[in-house]
Structure 1
């Protein structure tokens, strides 16, 4: 049995303007959610210092939050039965309340961790529900463009963090203000969502729509569609090699992205000795270019009717650029060079990721279009598990971060002792020695981590060959023409049968 919230359920496929407005609203929701999830990263050095939270513990908290999000993603597979919209609406409300009123008022690392876990749980659900809504409202021939705008959500969420932090932190000078501003914005978007978000009825969304010309046929089919039959044994239908490997492939492709979101500001502060403000300026270039690439790649992929060439182009480009980026560790590379390399890899990853999102939903649809949310739940679970494992592994590979983050406080204590003509304590001298050793080791350790990111891209490139879709635009165009002919024939048959009655 399929339940859907009737007050939010559309019984007819929307016209072009309402359809685009629903898509835009889902994108705005996604931006707000990821802004809330990533806001702590923009003030991480201040947050860790204020809560006396060691870097390793911070990493483990983030990792466990991702693990919670992974299992929340599996729960969101129920959106195939119970609908998507209410999961999004009330999840956004919960996140807004946590960010606005709970996280700015925590006083210990344990309190912050619990609040972060709650946000991660909700994010894991909406990670599945929002792309499912995008898929529902976008036929395959416009899918990459629509997914490009959805994929902007995490990117513009990251850009919003760096941009607002850049503007406000010099004034507020507190990490709490970043959460308060974010919470107010999320709650405002919740009100908009509560008033206007709708979703397709199950009979409409549980079909495969290639282009807008399919609309009439889909509405006619919906009147006799057996939803219960199509939803039987959902996990058995979706746990297939092409779905599993492609989801794993994109998850390891994004290792560098998740490193950028969580640790890159710390990388620039500890290795290149930039201020938090300077590091956020680089982040602005990173996310701004990525957002541009996502939209352009989506439009080009739809225009050429292919996905795989864009995935290969993006993967290879990112592989090359990250190589030059990792070689810059420990050198005197200029601020402009680093900003360019970060932005360039972000451009290529954008091309790969948006075309993958379109191809993945088409791969799921080829199995069963009624189980889109279940297929996306598998992707969400694998993605979060990969991120969890990578975060748990990060301190083992890059062990120098914690001494370098505490360096300003240790050095200040040492200078104070000298000024007071007090012999520095042995523990203080040991800490200074540890800082010196960490500074020497840091570049090589970060390079090792970036090599792991490179290996992830290589795996992604091989996984592309398992996915649905043509390599040739001419072959894809021929497929579309054949589909249109079948649709016309089926419509003619339905009209003839209706006339005979």
Structure 2
């Protein structure tokens, strides 16, 4: 029987103390995992909602593409240091960071669309990025705590549904409501309500393991009695946490996955703009294509996690996923010079691309947390903070360089307003307007080739992921992995037979 709280906790204890002193049974444990995953979905929904209506935001604020990208750059840069700060979750815990982060971001979703100018809009967007940087570390740390290694890839597959399902919900809600509600601000208001509801769910339903429990390695649920017996007297070596977590087996794979996901960052930030400017789709149609991308990504993430746990290997999935993603990124970039490419063709291409990324990512998350545990399970959040910081720094760098590689986008984003002005001017538009129309025509001709250059950079990054992920923990052979688990089970049986002391 697990005691989750005092019989009559004080108000301050109810507001802050969320620790469990015993490892929860399967039902409650699944419940905590579900809340952590749902919280992640909502937080990423809030983070990505602007991308679903980016063309409308740019038009509303008369914002250039470069300015918009610079907001994303600063938001991710500051968020990177939010991820570093979240390494303190090893000392302060994880659940409160998630719960009160949901309250803050939920309120911000009503403030952001009310910003009177671009500067205030940018400042509020940066605050959202900081909170997301913290959550990027706290939620996977919670998922790791509640998932033994033999189910880790499945659990991480569900956790990764956070950013994926968040993006899917952005596209689905925008596609379903924009034509009726019209105003882009409505999308922020919808997610704000959802965020505050999720805060209430987390407030009452999210808990975390005590340090004595979470600071140990749990291979399977059969280890429960052993780790509970050790928890009372367990002391972990947590001095010099950053030094402990800055080894090659942590840094190289973290950098590898960060650059592997360049095409993913592009999808989040730019696919709506890319599809509307290159292929001429409406914002609603572009979100419809994005919906397919995120839906396939989510399904394959969970399927890959389950398969990885069944076979008890991680790295072979990373290789297969890389081959698929590289192939489909090349196919995708080849369509940039074919603006007549149909809706269905693009859906098929990006769905296969999403599937390749997912096959690699869920097993990578499992292997990375297992590698952290190999170094020091008491510093899980610190190890994830290293990954979160590198991830956000790579995102920052990639977003910074996109406007230089795809320099034509400023003119294309502004094109609808100038085309409307030309239509109103009739047969005699002013010289300045004619000059601007010439710039737009030149930009339209240059944009496909520039996007292809960027996507080739993404391909190179995906290839580099392979050597960088090699230091991760884990076997290549299912047979060898199975033998290792069986040996561990025999050790656990011996410990239980001797009183686990």
TM-score (norm 2): 0.96
CA distance in 2, matches of 1:334, 1:104: 33
Q: Tell me if 1:458 matches 2:435.
A: no
The residue aligned with 2:6 is none
Map 1:51-200 → 2, pairs under 5 A: 51-99=61-109, 101-200=110-209
CA distance in 1, matches of 2:228, 2:96: 23
Q: Tell me if 1:231 matches 2:238.
A: yes
Q: Tell me if 1:17 matches 2:22.
A: no
Deviations, residues 213-256 of structure 1 (Å, cap 9, x unaligned):
000000011111114xx211100100001110100000011100
The residue aligned with 2:264 is 257
CA distance in 2, matches of 1:330, 1:248: 31
**Kept after mapping to 1: 8 A contact 2:367/2:473:** yes
Q: SS of the residue aligned with 1:466?
A: coil
1:295 to partner: Cα distance: 0.6
1:56 to partner: Cα distance: 0.3
Q: Tell me if 1:245 matches 2:255.
A: no
CA distance in 2, matches of 1:242, 1:459: 16
CA distance in 2, matches of 1:137, 1:374: 17
**Kept after mapping to 1: 8 A contact 2:252/2:469:** no
Map 1:325-404 → 2, pairs under 5 A: 325-331=332-338, 332-404=340-412
1:202 to partner: Cα distance: 0.3
Of 312, 315, 326 in structure 1, the residue corresponding to residue 322 of structure 2 is: 315
The residue aligned with 1:40 is 50
Deviations, residues 347-386 of structure 1 (Å, cap 9, x unaligned):
1100100010000000111000000000000000000000
The residue aligned with 1:492 is 497
Q: Which is further off, 5-14 or 182-191? A: 5-14
- Deviation >3 Å, runs of 4+: none
Deviations, residues 28-75 of structure 1 (Å, cap 9, x unaligned):
000000000000011111111001111100001101100011000000
Of 420, 424, 427 in structure 2, the residue corresponding to residue 416 of structure 1 is: 424
Deviations, residues 71-119 of structure 1 (Å, cap 9, x unaligned):
00000000001100111111110000000x2012112111110110110
The residue aligned with 1:478 is 483
1:395 to partner: Cα distance: 0.4
Q: SS of the residue aligned with 2:17?
A: helix
Q: SS of the residue aligned with 1:263?
A: helix
The residue aligned with 2:281 is 274
**Kept after mapping to 1: 8 A contact 2:16/2:96:** no
The residue aligned with 2:443 is 438
1:6 to partner: Cα distance: 6.8
Cα RMSD over matched residues? 1.1
Q: Tell me if 1:306 matches 2:313.
A: yes
CA distance in 1, matches of 2:258, 2:58: 27
Deviations, residues 394-426 of structure 1 (Å, cap 9, x unaligned):
00000111111111111111222226xxx4222
CA distance in 2, matches of 1:493, 1:67: 52
Q: SS of the residue aligned with 2:429?
A: coil
Of 423, 426, 435 in structure 1, the residue corresponding to residue 431 of structure 2 is: 426
Q: SS of the residue aligned with 1:494?
A: coil
CA distance in 1, matches of 2:353, 2:314: 19
1:333 to partner: Cα distance: 2.1
In structure 2, runs of 5+ residues without a counterpart are 1-12
TM-score (norm 1): 0.96
CA distance in 2, matches of 1:194, 1:51: 36
1:337 to partner: Cα distance: 1.0
Q: SS of the residue aligned with 2:22?
A: coil
1:459 to partner: Cα distance: 0.9
Q: How many residues get paired?
A: 487
**Kept after mapping to 1: 8 A contact 2:317/2:363:** yes
